[in-house]
Amino acid sequence: MDPYVTYVRPRWSDMDVFGHVNHASLVTRLEDARVPLLFEDSADAGLSDFAKGTVVVRLEVRYMAPIVAAGQEIRMRISLSELKNASFTLDYDVHSGPSDEDTVAARAQVVLAPYDVARQRPRRLTEPERSFLAGRLGAGAEVRSDG
């Protein structure tokens, strides 16, 4: 399966004084990119629990170039790099524009865990959830049966 590719349009308020997308705004755009996948696509696959609770465990962003995207979409490529029983890791390539030919301006990695909101505690991924993630994003992912 090919990585998930989506496009987000930074808002005017996402820009700093230099016209670059600022860090806090990029983190929000990373979230905007994964919500349709984890909440809508998974719900379409019969998996409603992702939308009921998924939390960020760790977030790392490495910048290689400024993102100057006033008025244009930026391309985000998301792939699954690790799948465990109680967490999964998404890797992002953030392009400086809408094309895969545009510079990769940032790379991000987000570790997510399913969360039981009613019980206020993490939970394990179900086998259908693991299958969805592996099938939708999993080419090249390290699939592990621990933690």
Question: For tokens 């496009």, what's the residue?
Answer: 7
- 98 within 8 A of 73, measured Cβ to Cβ: yes
Sequence ranges of the domains in the chain: 4-137
Rounded to whole angstroms, how far apart are CA atoms 11 and 146? Answer: 40
94 forms beta bridges with 76, 106
Consecutive 10-residue runs of the chain (147 residues): their mean pLDDT? 82 82 90 90 85 91 87 89 94 88 92 93 93 80 46
Judge whether 123 and 54 are in contact, CB under 8 Å. Answer: no
Indicate left, alpha or beta for 105 from its phi (over 0: left) and psi (-120 to 50: alpha). alpha
Give the C-alpha separation, 127 to 52, whole Å.
Answer: 17
Q: How many CB atoms lie within 10 A of CB 32?
A: 14
What per-residue confidence (pLDDT) applies to 145?
A: 46
CATH superfamily of 4-137: Hotdog Thioesterase (3.10.129.10)
Query: What pLDDT sits at residue 9?
Result: 86
Q: Are 70 and 12 in contact (CB under 8 A)?
A: yes
pLDDT in the model for residue 87 = 96
pLDDT in tens, 96-124: 888 878 889 999 999 999 999 899 999 99
Global pTM?
0.87
Of how many residues is the chain composed?
A: 147
